[in-house]
Structure 1
Amino acid sequence: MRVMDIEADRPKAVIVGTGGHAQVLWAAWQTLQNTPGQVSPLLMGWLEHAGYQGPTHLMDLPVYPETEAGLLALSEQGVWAFYFGIGMVTANPKRWDIFQRVQGYGFTPKTLIHPTAVVDSSAIIGPGCFIGARSVIQPFVKLGAAAIVNTGSIVEHHADMGQNVHVAPGSILCGHSQVGDHSLIGAGAIVLQQVSVGRLAAVGAGSVVLQSVAEGATVVGNPARPVLQGHNRNQMGQESVVS
């Protein structure tokens, strides 16, 4: 089979979003292209919200608006897959709403695993996840859909992460820990073994979580203590959002 035939048979994808996290995904995708034996979808561009007014191209790839015309242009090129490039800087279910909406257009979420990550074969990885450079996923881990295990993080054996969870760079989830849907584990934080973090909760950067965290709580420090109760539904700071 000729190279051009192989290229034609590869699925085609876009990255949802154009912000910092989306560009990290692009860099990981680029690394995959230069890794022998790795095959990933052809990247055809970026998908942004209908009111997007930024550059028309990023990394030499077109940016498509989430409009009827933009979605039609993607479908005409045979693009029916996406990498989920919306970041998460606080516990935020809005990111999950975006993920579901893009699926509603008929796009299939793809998981992107950096080639330097170590993922045990027994781990269960949901659709639309990102596993960053030098991260480690140990045996019998479960990752829900749209989860992020960011650069250099470690998820130990039997840990269970829900949907739309972000484990920020350098964090550690110890064995048999649990993290509920839409929660954030801040950079460099540690969640000890057998400890649960409730849904919509946030763990501050550098915190050490010794006891379970209630749903919707924000905890910080060593040992981690609650500083805010109730659901945290703030916006995602400066990250690009398809809205």
Structure 2
Amino acid sequence: MIETILVGAGGHGKVVLDAVLSNMNTNIKIIGFLDDGEIEEIAGIKKIGNIRDYIKYKDKKFHIAIGNNVLREKLSKEIGENNLVTIIHKTAYVSSMSNVGKGSYIGAMTAINPQCEIGKSCIINTGTIVEHDCYIGDYSHLSYRVLVGSESKVLSRTMVEMGKILERNSNV
């Protein structure tokens, strides 16, 4: 089991936690979360400190469950790519011909088709479709039900809001 700490306990943190808890076949075990808010527990998982307390847990792995691209990038770099865990919901489809960067989250009912490159610490949220031959840059966030047409490119740190359709060969 990979003992993992979630960084962030807001809405996205809850979604990520649920993805892990609902997958009995995962090798990831969430041992706690770090958050600067007042919340103390989610689904039996306890808060073990504030966000900056990650330095106390150097022997653990992390998943940064924060929707803000800038903050997610900053924390990813501080914690280090080798200490990040990728989380893929059990109902997501990721082609074996595609690559998903360290620390990314691939949500429920998501499809990532062949020859796609998903960057580091990305969020590909619920019901999103990334068609073949796409590039999604590091620290990007594709919100719910986004459709990315084939051969499209999403630059690093880009936020694509829910329901958007990026036509084939788009560059955003």
* TM-score normalised by the chain length of structure 2: 0.91
Please state how far the C-alpha of 1:70 moved relative to its aligned partner. 6.7
Within 1, Cα distance between the matches of 2:37 and 2:162?
31
Displacement of 1:67 in angstroms is: 7.5
Alignment check: 8 A CA contact 2:54 2:79 kept: no
For residues 111-130 of structure 1, the aligned pairs below 5 Å read 111-130=86-105
The structure-2 alpha-carbon separation of the partners of 1:56 and 1:189, relative to structure 1 and needing over 3 Å to count, comes to: same
Aligned length: 172
1:54-108: CA deviations, max 9, x gaps?
A: 1333322221224887743x45xxx5111220013xxx4233112212228xx71
**CA distance in structure 2 between the aligned counterparts of 1:68 and 1:157, rounded to whole angstroms:** 38
**Residue 108 (structure 1) aligns with:** 83
8 Å Cα contact 1:65-1:71 kept in structure 2: no
1:27 corresponds to 2:3: no
Matched, 1:93 2:93: no
Tell me: CA distance 1:53–1:86, structure 2 relative to 1, closer, same or farther (3 Å): closer
Q: For 1:187 and 1:70, how far apart are their aligned partners in 2?
A: 31
- Percent identical residues: 26
Question: 1:82 corresponds to which residue?
Answer: 62
Letter in 2 for 1:58: I
Structure 2 equivalent of residue 13 of structure 1: 4
- 1:56 is aligned to 40
Shift of 1:23: 0.4
- CA distance in structure 1 between the partners assigned to 2:105 and 2:152 by the alignment: 20
Q: CA RMSD in A?
A: 2.0
Does the 8 Å contact 1:13/1:81 carry over to 2? yes
Unaligned residue ranges in structure 1 (runs of 5+): 1-9, 198-243
| 1:161-216 deviation per Cα after TM superposition (whole angstroms, max 9, x unaligned) | 0001111111100010000010011100011111111xxxxxxxxxxxxxxxxxxx
State which structure, 1 or 2, has the greater radius of gyration over its C-alpha atoms. 1
Residue identity opposite 2:49 in structure 1? P
Residue of structure 1 equivalent to 2:113: 138
Change (3 A) 1:67 1:113: closer
> Aligned match of 2:143 in 163, 168, 172?
168
Name the aligned partner's letter for residue 77 of structure 2.
Q
Alignment pair present for 1:177 and 2:146:
no
Could you tell me whether the CA contact under 8 Å between 1:32 and 1:40 is conserved in 2? no
Question: Scaled by the length of structure 1, what TM-score is found?
Answer: 0.66
For 1:84 and 1:157, locate their aligned partners in 2 and report how far apart those are by CA, in whole Å: 27
SS at match of 2:60: strand
State how far apart, in whole Å, the 1-side matches of 2:147 and 2:10 are. 25
Conservation of the 8 A alpha-carbon contact between 2:76 and 2:121: yes
Distance 1:18 1:124, change over 3 A: same
State how far apart, in whole Å, the 2-side matches of 1:69 and 1:14 are: 11
Unaligned segments of structure 2, at least 5 residues:
none
Query: 1: CA distance between counterparts of 2:91 and 2:120?
Result: 21
- Measured against aligned partners, the alpha-carbon deviations of 1:4-48 in whole angstroms (never above 9, x if no partner) come to xxxxxx221011101000000011001112xxxx23221100012
Match of 2:34 among 42, 47, 58: 47
* Structure 1 CA distance for aligned equivalents of residues 12 and 125 of structure 2: 10
